[in-house]
């Protein structure tokens, strides 16, 4: 009779233990799914993978890992007229092109059908809700989440007025009402959100009582809870002006992902917005990407192109050159996309 070596016997015992563990896990999952109406499975289950919605802005998607994640809470914050709502409008446009259902919670009462249509949104198939007070708006969000819509935009959290504050007179103090309302709503929203991309827009205020701190300290109305519940926080700021014939025709939207749970944080993107067309200035965006990838060389105020001997002074001259030479611009765009693909690989 052939004797089994001690090492082989130990391997067989380990395999038996692994099989027993797998059987125990299978029984545990079957019992959990039978007893509770929630997702319970292994980490390699397709339902546990991150599903994304493209924003329609390539440079912004690249900075956050490929798009906004379904089932997560995303927060866009920044100063006035910086471009927070515009980015949300481009997400609506991109989601509608994929056949998704979008909801816009107009808490600030400033929905403009003409501007939304100019940006590219299909206003005939866009659900717009104008709540009276904050609790009603958040109940609407929970209702739409249960209907499994694809995208919800709240514009904005700062404009959500608690019902008690709405009913009280102006001399009544209501400290902390909005923060308590929003934190209660965030707990329920995070639990109820399965497959919807939720975007909340918020404002930035100057922190009171920071006289002795260096710099201007900024905060968001609505309490500290929103910082913890948000999977993505994007700081949106207005950058340089886009000029044509010495007239301001747009501005650059500077975005920094200060918090991101599904991609390395602090990804930056510069989005050039044109006021007259409501669209992104693709020439300026490609030039900025070419500068990031060192395809266009910069030394001081001078910019050097590969196929042009004479350097250009200032980025405006570079952008104007590519506007006037479409063949050169197409070649530059292909080179940028090829370089970006290699970097991603």
Q: Of 260, 280, 300, which one is at a domain's C-terminal end?
A: 280
Residues 239 and 307 in one domain: no
CA dihedral 62, 64, 70, 75 (to 10 degrees): -130
Q: Decide if 304 is inside a domain.
A: yes
Measure the CA angle with vertex 300, ends 288 and 258; round to 5°: 45
Please, where are the H alpha helices in 36-133? 58-63, 84-97, 113-119
pLDDT score, position 343: 58
Structural domain includes residue 158: yes
| pLDDT of res. 242 | 86
Residue 227, pLDDT score = 92
Q: Is the pLDDT of residue 344 over 80?
A: no
Residue 84 domain-assigned? yes
User: Phi/psi of residue 328, each to 5°?
Assistant: -65, -35
**Rounded CA separation 169/171 (Å):** 6
Domain final position from 226, 251, 280: 280
Let me know whether 273 and 304 are in one domain.
Answer: no
Based on the fold, state whether residues 270 and 309 are members of the same structural domain: no
| Pair 91, 284: CB distance under 8 Å | no
Range of the domain at 73: 50-280
User: How far is 306 from 309, CA to CA, in rounded Å?
Assistant: 8
The whole-angstrom separation of Cα 211 and Cα 334 is: 50
> Residue 180's pLDDT band (boundaries 50, 70, 90)?
very high
Helix, coil or strand: residue 84: helix
Is pLDDT of 182 > 80?
Answer: yes
Structure tokens at 335: 């080179």
Domain tally for the chain?
2
Whole-model pTM: value is: 0.84
Q: Are residues 308 and 244 in the same domain?
A: no
Q: Are residues 190 and 164 in the same domain?
A: yes
Q: How confident is the model at residue 333 (pLDDT cuts 50, 70, 90)?
A: confident
Instruction: Name the domain boundary from 231, 261, 280.
Output: 280
Residue 98 has pLDDT above 70, yes or no: yes
Digit-coded pLDDT (tens) for 66-90: 999 999 999 999 999 999 999 999 9
pLDDT at 32 over 90: no
pLDDT range class, residue 336, cuts 50, 70, 90: confident
Are 73 and 113 in the same domain? yes
- Shared-domain flag, residues 251 and 299: no
pLDDT tens for 115-141 read 999 999 999 999 999 999 999 999 999
**Is 20 inside any structural domain?**
no
pLDDT of residue 9: 57
Q: Are residues 167 and 78 in the same domain?
A: yes
pLDDT tens digits along 290-318: 888 889 999 988 999 988 888 898 888 89
Do both 96 and 217 map to the same domain? yes
C-alpha of 136 from chain center: 25
Same domain flag for 153 and 195: yes
Query: Burial code of 271-287, b = ≥16 C-beta within 10 A, e = fewer?
Result: bbbbeeebebbebbbbb
Does residue 82 share a domain with residue 140?
A: yes
Do 96 and 220 belong together in one domain? yes
């Amino acid at each position: 009779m052939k004797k089994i070596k001690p090492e082989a016997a130990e391997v067989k015992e380990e395999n038996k233990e692994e099989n027993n563990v797998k059987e125990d896990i299978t029984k545990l999952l079957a019992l959990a799914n039978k007893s509770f109406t929630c997702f319970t499975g292994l980490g390699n289950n397709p339902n546990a993978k991150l599903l994304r919605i493209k924003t329609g802005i390539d440079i912004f998607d690249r900075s956050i890992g490929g798009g906004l994640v379904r089932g997560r809470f995303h927060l866009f914050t920044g100063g006035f007229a910086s471009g927070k709502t515009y980015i949300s409008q481009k997400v609506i446009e991109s989601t509608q092109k994929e056949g998704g259902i979008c909801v816009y919670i107009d808490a600030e009462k400033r929905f403009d059908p003409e501007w939304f249509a100019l940006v590219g949104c299909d206003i005939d198939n866009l659900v717009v809700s104008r709540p009276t007070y904050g609790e009603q708006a958040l109940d609407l969000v929970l209702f739409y989440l249960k209907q499994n819509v694809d995208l919800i935009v709240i514009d904005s959290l700062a404009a959500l007025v608690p019902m008690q504050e709405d009913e009280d007179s102006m001399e009544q103090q209501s400290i902390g009402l909005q923060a308590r309302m929003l934190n209660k709503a965030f707990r329920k929203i995070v639990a109820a959100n399965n497959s919807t991309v939720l975007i909340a827009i918020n404002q930035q205020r100057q922190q009171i009582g920071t006289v002795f701190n260096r710099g201007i300290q900024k905060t968001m109305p609505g309490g500290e809870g929103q910082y913890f519940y948000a999977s993505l926080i994007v700081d949106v700021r207005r950058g340089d002006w886009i000029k044509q014939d010495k007239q301001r025709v747009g501005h650059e939207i500077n975005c920094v992902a200060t918090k991101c749970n599904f991609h390395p944080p602090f990804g930056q993107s510069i989005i050039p917005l044109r006021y007259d067309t409501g669209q992104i200035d693709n020439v300026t965006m490609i030039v900025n990407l070419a500068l990031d990838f060192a395809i266009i060389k910069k030394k001081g105020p001078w910019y050097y192109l590969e196929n042009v001997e004479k350097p250009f002074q200032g980025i405006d001259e570079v952008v104007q050159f590519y506007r006037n030479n479409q063949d050169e611009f197409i070649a530059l765009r292909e080179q940028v996309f090829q370089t970006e693909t290699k970097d991603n690989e």
